[in-house]
């Protein structure tokens, strides 16, 4: 692209942003001639430059807008309509500029519509005084400008430019309009290399002019060179330390200080004031205010707080989103505010400041705040937490549910409390840049979002660990805690054959050795002692076992070579303070490698309530393999098992013909996996503990064999009660047990508690899943919850059934199915008017925000993780209950 | 530069030895020659990636040329030398056994790869130059670093 054009584009875009802000200010203070002058000048500059660069469309538009503003200057009253029209025009100018940037020429088309409106507006109110040709208020000089060096090829002298401005007539308007005041202002940076005089001429309000443009590449190079300088200095300091009497000592000290300052200075060059991201806010708030009929005042504090430009780019949209939300949902209407004894004008406050190594950004409003009751209800219905868990939570903890992916999808929460639209997306964006977001709400007093983000993206805090003699960095952000283990410590590494787990506060964490992950050396048994870096990725928590832990260090993340980028286990590399290069471990990569789904145990849920919501991964299923009764191995999905226990047989009691054991202060019934299992007379008895809402049951087995990750391919038709079918696991035929069969053996009412099946009339349910395993596992659960269940193996059969006239109260469908998938099925159902109203609940082992969004679009009423029996029943209850209401 | 036999143009080559074979790299492609220090191995990396190292603040990917050319394992007693190369905006260090003198040779001396050239070498050679008593293989740096290309040959 032509240099001149590029410069013009950057300049103009910046100017337009300023005009946006100034216009809104002007509307509030119509008598402030200074603001008007400033706007006028900017628009005029744009017009002049367009004429010079031969951009007729832009020129015409700018000219028409300028004419209208000229009228303001001549005393025409400033109306909101007129300002809106000018803002509109500016939007059009921006569109054209965007095109121009892409194709390097103006797009076709014309703007007669806008120009006519502008001209009409100019004419509507006759100027109070006859339009003078030059206003007394104009500033600037007519003095010939001199450039302090010879012109370079392609450059234009300032005089020529000035002449061009004056001669740019403005294309003939459709209706005769008096040309506005002749330009008398020096152009703003008309060509590369502006003189300082320009800046002086442009008056106040534009601090940005004091700067020059430097390419990012130059900055990166500087940064690299400074890093090198720092390293060299460190080496020198090291030498001098060994020779304390050296005459270099004093000058080196000085060099050291200067280097530190230089480093800081270079880092600073990447920084931009956050005000740049806020620039569009006044305009947005103004538009919303008009649209919603609310009076809104926008306060901005700390606009000069600086942060890394990359970070700035990433938070722009989330911030805009939150401000919109505040205006739209947070603030009440003037009438409501009056009734609540609040000032009619609502306030949205944006503030930014430094705290520690972070920038804190607060978006606050004085609206109605979050409706905690509603959130609580929804969380309960969505199965994100149980009643008991919710009772223990503070208001703040409950409010955090708004960040859970998909939480806001329910219409209820958005229409009543009105909050939470897309907050999961906002949080996602902020997560990506290593930040965090918190919410603070006081009912009827207001709501604030507190965002904490690192100063720069390139520098992160990392834990330096060692394994097998090599050092690696693990981003501190994913590290929850460090656990030191040895044989005697409270936290022990336990083994279930190949799989090692850590029992940490009654939760079983899967463990993986960094050494094994990175294939450093042969596989060895898990060591008795070592350090466990407890890491969290989404809802998944796991422990990474390392040999040693050093310290936390701020590291500069450098991209990996293209030869190494395919290694998912690393996210980058860095140079440490001592000059050595180390790899940065990517916790996401590790999580994928482990591939366990950490969803559904009740305990996991309690701990990660806010984060859960089925971020579960992978298409393989973690299975717990054990032996019970016969030599044929048996398995259950690990996600259904709460804990694995080995209890002392002498503690098993027999009461009323049932085996019981004192477990965590309660009597827990024991159920044998089948009649051939014998409860041992002495020694340790292995148990699988299933717990749900305060109740626990122990399934007695002979021996726990292993935990495996396998794609489940079930052959249906197992013999004997409690067997779903068989599957080949690790090359061996294995029986898959039906957990649903055993639970009622311990408590007859297991599935009937919590008034799950209060509806007297059994509701009919159609269940579509290609996997026989899930059909068999879930139908008893659904039946127990009071539904009359019909199962079909694919979407086509489901549609055929519906076409044949069968009606169901609710449809539960898997998403990933061969042939027609769940999305397509939902679309087909929605397209059929006879059944379009039937609620649809989607089941999936994987749910990303995108799939949830897609699900919402095709018409899923709810979205439940596959193994989350509780959530499914809750969702069903909600959907069918709303059916009753609707009926 | 390979077939330009009519003019008397000269090309300068940095000569290196890899597994007893003499190679030449066009000097225009060589950024620097350095002693690789504190090489960090990268787990899970392709075998020819010897590791990464810090060269004046830049992270350089070190390529073990012996492994790359399948010329046997290096004798650990002798520390390797590295030739700094820029390839598609990234820095690489080619680990070689020894670095020799810079030779200025006429372009017309450069012959197309002879048919009997060792295939392991042929796939990264852009030509050969016959010197007194030995053969100098001109390395095609791009082909050396384009590792996907010779999956068949390897």
What would the two tokens of residue A126 be? Answer: 């006759």
Q: Does some domain include residue B117? A: yes
- Number of structural domains (chain B) is 1
Query: Per-residue pLDDT tens for B106-126?
Result: 888 888 877 788 888 888 899
Q: Does some domain include residue B80? A: yes
Q: Is A563's CB within 8 Å of B49's CB?
A: yes
CB B141 within 8 A of CB B25: yes
Q: What is the pLDDT of residue A160?
A: 56
Q: What is the pLDDT of residue A471?
A: 93
Mean pLDDT, rounded, for A755-778: 68
Evaluated on CA atoms A284, A287, A289, A291, the torsion sign reads: negative
Query: Per-residue pLDDT tens for A188-241?
Result: 434 444 334 444 444 444 444 566 777 878 887 887 788 778 777 777 877 887
- Pairs of residues, one from chain A and one from chain B, whose beta carbons lie less than 8 Å apart: 63
Query: Per-residue pLDDT tens for A703-751?
Result: 888 777 776 666 655 556 777 777 777 777 888 887 777 877 777 666 5
Mean pLDDT, rounded, for A104-118: 79
Q: Does some domain include residue B77? A: yes
Q: What is the pLDDT of residue A534?
A: 92
Q: What is the pLDDT of residue A162?
A: 55
Q: Is A564's CB within 8 Å of B61's CB?
A: yes
Nearest CA in chain B to A231: B57
Decide if A470 touches B, using CB distance below 8 A.
Answer: yes
Of A561, A567, A575, the CB nearest to B57: A575
List C-alpha distances in Å: A141 to A162, A183, A197, A198: 11, 10, 10, 10
Instruction: Evaluate if residue A184 carries a pLDDT over 90.
Output: no
For residue B40, the 8-state DSSP code is B
CA distance A518 to chain B (A): 5
Mean pLDDT, rounded, for A278-297: 87
Mean pLDDT, rounded, for A599-615: 32
Q: Is A569's CB within 8 Å of B43's CB?
A: yes
Half-sphere exposure of A751 (CA within 13 A, CB side): 22
Specify the 3-state DSSP secondary structure of A266.
helix
CA dist., res. A124 & res. A357, Å (int) = 56
> Helix crossing, A869-886 with A372-381: angle to 10°?
110
Region of poorest pLDDT, from A278-282, B7-11, B139-143:
B7-11
Q: Is A564's CB within 8 Å of B53's CB?
A: no
Q: How far is CA A885 from the centre of its chain?
A: 35
Of A520, A558, A562, the CB nearest to B43: A520
Q: What is the pLDDT of residue B93?
A: 95
Neighbours of A494 (CB within 10 A): 15
- The model's confidence at residue A886, banded by pLDDT at 50, 70 and 90, is very low
* CATH number, domain containing residue B70: 2.40.50.180
How big is chain B, counted in residues? 154
Helices (H), A753-842: 772-784, 795-803, 822-831
Q: Is B147's CB within 8 Å of A563's CB?
A: yes
- Beta strand spans in A778-866 (E): 787-792, 810-814, 840-844, 862-865
**Percent of chain A at pLDDT exceeding 70:** 75
Q: Does some domain include residue B31? A: yes
Chain B residues near residue A561 by CB distance under 8 angstroms: 52, 59, 61, 90, 92
Chain A residues near residue B147 by CB distance under 8 angstroms: 563
CA distance B46 to chain A (A): 8
Q: For chain A, which domains are there?
A: 3-210 (1.20.120.160), 216-269 (1.10.287), 275-454 (3.30.565.10), 463-491+507-594 (2.30.30.40), 621-746 (2.40.50.180), 763-886 (3.40.50.2300)
What would the two tokens of residue A854 be? Answer: 């897609």
Q: Which domain holds residue B20?
A: 10-144
Region of poorest pLDDT, from A5-14, A160-169, A544-553:
A160-169
Q: Which of B75, B76, B50, B45 is nearest to B65 (CA)?
A: B50
CA distance A106 to chain B (A): 34
Q: Does some domain include residue B41? A: yes
Give the DSSP H/E element, type plus range, for residue A643. strand A643-648
- The model's confidence at residue B98, banded by pLDDT at 50, 70 and 90, is very high
What mean pLDDT is reported for chain A?
74
Q: Is B57's CB within 8 Å of A224's CB?
A: yes
Q: How far is CA A61 from the centre of its chain?
A: 39
Phi, psi of A236 (to 5 degrees): -60, -45
Q: Does some domain include residue B105? A: yes
CB A780 within 8 A of CB A738: yes
What would the two tokens of residue A315 be? Answer: 């938070």
A406-411 contacts at long range (C-beta below 8 A, 24 or more positions apart): A406/A613, A406/A847, A406/A849, A406/A852, A406/A863, A407/A378, A407/A379, A407/A382, A407/A613, A409/A852, A409/A856, A409/A862, A409/A863, A410/A378, A410/A382, A410/A862
ipTM of the complex: 0.88
Q: Is A580's CB within 8 Å of B90's CB?
A: no
Instruction: Evaluate if residue A824 carries a pLDDT over 90.
Output: no
Q: What is the pLDDT of residue A623?
A: 79
Of the residues A217, A574, A581, the best mutation for testing chain B's interface (the one with the most B CB atoms within 10 Å of its CB) is A581
Bridge-partner residues for B94, per DSSP? B63, B83
Mean pLDDT, rounded, for A618-629: 72
Q: What is the pLDDT of residue A133?
A: 40
Q: What is the pLDDT of residue A587?
A: 85
What would the two tokens of residue B78 be? Answer: 């002798």
CB B72 within 8 A of CB A548: no
Highest mean pLDDT among B2-16, B64-78, B96-110 belongs to: B96-110
Mean pLDDT, rounded, for A492-521: 79
Query: Per-residue pLDDT tens for A471-505?
Result: 999 988 788 889 888 767 667 777 766 678 887 77
List C-alpha distances in Å: A511 to A475, A590, A730: 18, 11, 21
Query: Per-residue pLDDT tens for A10-54?
Result: 778 877 888 888 888 888 887 777 788 778 777 877 777 777 677
CA dist., res. A374 & res. A309, Å (int) = 38
């Amino acid at each position: 692209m032509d240099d001149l054009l590029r410069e013009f584009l950057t300049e103009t875009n910046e100017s337009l942003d300023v005009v946006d802000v100034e216009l809104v200010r002007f509307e509030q203070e119509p008598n402030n001639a200074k603001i008007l002058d400033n706007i006028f000048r900017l628009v005029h500059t744009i017009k002049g430059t367009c004429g010079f660069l031969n951009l007729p469309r832009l020129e015409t538009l700018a000219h028409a807008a300028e004419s209208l503003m000229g009228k303001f200057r001549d005393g025409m009253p400033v109306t909101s309509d007129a300002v809106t029209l000018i803002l509109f025009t500016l939007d059009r100018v921006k569109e054209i500029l965007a095109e121009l940037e892409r194709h390097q020429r103006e797009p076709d088309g014309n703007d007669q519509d806008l120009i006519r409106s502008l001209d009409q507006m100019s004419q509507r109110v006759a100027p109070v005084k006859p339009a003078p040709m030059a206003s007394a208020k104009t500033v600037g000089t007519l003095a010939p400008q001199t450039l302090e060096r010879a012109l370079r090829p392609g450059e234009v002298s300032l005089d020529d430019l000035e002449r061009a401005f004056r001669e740019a007539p403005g294309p003939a308007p459709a209706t005769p309009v008096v040309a506005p005041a002749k330009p008398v202002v020096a152009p703003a940076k008309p060509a590369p290399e502006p003189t300082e005089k320009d800046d002086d001429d442009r008056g106040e309000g534009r601090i940005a002019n004091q700067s020059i443009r430097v390419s990012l590449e130059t900055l990166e190079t500087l940064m690299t060179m400074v890093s090198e300088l720092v390293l060299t200095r460190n080496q020198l300091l090291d030498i001098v330390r060994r020779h304390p009497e050296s005459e270099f000592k004093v000058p080196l000290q000085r060099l050291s200080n200067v280097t530190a300052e230089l480093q800081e200075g270079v880092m600073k060059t990447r920084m931009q004031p956050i005000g740049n991201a806020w620039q569009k806010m006044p305009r947005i708030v103004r538009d919303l205010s008009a649209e919603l009929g609310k009076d809104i005042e926008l306060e901005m504090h700390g606009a000069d707080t600086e942060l890394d430009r990359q970070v700035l780019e990433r938070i722009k949209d989330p911030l805009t989103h939150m401000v919109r939300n505040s205006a739209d949902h947070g603030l009440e209407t003037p009438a409501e505010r009056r009734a609540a004894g609040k000032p009619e004008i609502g306030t949205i406050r944006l503030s930014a400041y430094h705290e520690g190594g972070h920038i804190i950004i607060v978006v606050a409003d004085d609206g109605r705040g979050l409706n905690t009751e509603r959130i609580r209800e929804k969380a309960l219905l969505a199965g994100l937490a149980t009643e008991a868990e919710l009772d223990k939570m503070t208001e703040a903890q409950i409010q955090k549910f708004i960040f859970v992916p998909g939480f806001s999808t329910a219409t209820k929460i958005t229409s009543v409390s009105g909050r939470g639209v897309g907050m999961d997306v906002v949080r996602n964006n902020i997560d990506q840049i290593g930040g965090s977001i918190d919410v603070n709400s006081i009912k009827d007093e207001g709501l604030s979002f507190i965002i904490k983000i690192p100063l720069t993206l390139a520098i992160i805090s990392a834990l330096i660990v060692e394994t097998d003699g090599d050092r690696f960095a693990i981003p501190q952000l994913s590290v929850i805690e460090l656990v030191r283990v040895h044989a005697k410590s409270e936290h022990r590494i336990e083994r279930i054959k190949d799989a090692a787990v850590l029992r940490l506060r009654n939760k079983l964490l899967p463990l993986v050795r960094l050494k094994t992950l990175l294939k450093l050396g042969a596989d060895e048994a898990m060591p008795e002692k070592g350090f466990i870096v407890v890491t969290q990725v989404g809802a998944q928590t796991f422990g990474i076992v390392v040999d040693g832990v050093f310290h936390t260090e701020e590291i500069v993340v450098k991209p990996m070579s293209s030869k190494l980028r395919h290694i998912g286990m690393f996210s980058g590399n860095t140079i440490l303070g001592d000059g050595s290069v180390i790899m940065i471990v990517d916790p996401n990569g590790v999580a994928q490698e482990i591939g366990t789904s950490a969803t559904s145990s009740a305990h996991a849920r309690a701990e990660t309530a806010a984060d859960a919501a089925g971020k579960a991964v992978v298409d393989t299923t973690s299975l717990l393999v054990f032996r019970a009764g016969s030599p044929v191995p048996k398995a259950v999905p690990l996600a259904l098992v709460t804990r694995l226990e080995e209890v002392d047989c002498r503690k098993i009691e027999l009461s009323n013909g049932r085996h019981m054991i004192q477990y965590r202060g309660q009597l827990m019934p024991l159920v044998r996996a089948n009649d051939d299992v014998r409860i041992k007379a002495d020694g340790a008895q292995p148990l699988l503990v299933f717990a749900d809402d305060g109740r626990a049951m122990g399934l007695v087995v002979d021996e726990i064999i292993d935990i495996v990750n396998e794609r489940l391919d079930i052959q249906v038709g197992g013999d004997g009660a409690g067997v779903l079918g068989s599957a080949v696991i690790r090359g061996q035929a294995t029986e898959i047990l039906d957990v649903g069969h055993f639970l009622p053996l311990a408590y007859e009412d297991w599935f009937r508690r919590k008034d799950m099946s209060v509806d007297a009339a059994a509701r009919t349910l159609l269940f579509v899943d290609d996997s026989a395993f899930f059909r068999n596992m879930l139908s008893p659960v659904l039946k127990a919850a009071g539904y009359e269940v019909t199962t079909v193996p694919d979407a086509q059969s489901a549609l055929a059934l519906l076409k044949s006239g069968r009606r169901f109260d609710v449809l539960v469908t898997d998403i990933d199915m061969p042939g027609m998938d769940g999305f397509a099925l939902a679309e087909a159902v929605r397209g059929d008017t006879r059944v379009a109203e039937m609620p649809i609940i989607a089941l999936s082992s994987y749910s990303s925000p995108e799939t949830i969004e897609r699900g919402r679009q095709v018409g899923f009423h709810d979205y439940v993780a596959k193994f989350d029996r509780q959530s499914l029943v809750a969702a069903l209850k909600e959907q069918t209950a709303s059916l009753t209401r609707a009926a | 530069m390979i077939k330009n036999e009519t003019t008397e143009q000269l090309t300068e080559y940095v000569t290196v030895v890899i597994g007893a074979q003499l190679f030449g790299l066009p000097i225009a492609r060589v950024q620097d020659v350095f002693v690789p220090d504190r090489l960090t191995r990268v787990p899970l990396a392709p075998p020819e990636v010897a590791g990464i190292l810090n060269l004046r603040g830049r992270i350089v990917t070190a390529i073990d040329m012996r492994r790359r050319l399948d010329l046997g394992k290096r004798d650990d007693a002798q520390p390797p030398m590295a030739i700094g190369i820029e390839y598609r905006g990234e820095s690489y260090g080619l680990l070689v056994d020894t670095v020799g003198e810079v030779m200025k040779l006429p372009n017309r001396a450069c012959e197309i790869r002879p048919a009997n050239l060792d295939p392991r070498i042929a796939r990264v050679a852009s030509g050969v130059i016959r010197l007194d008593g030995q053969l100098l293989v001109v390395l095609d740096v791009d082909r050396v670093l384009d590792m996907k290309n010779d999956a068949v040959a390897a």
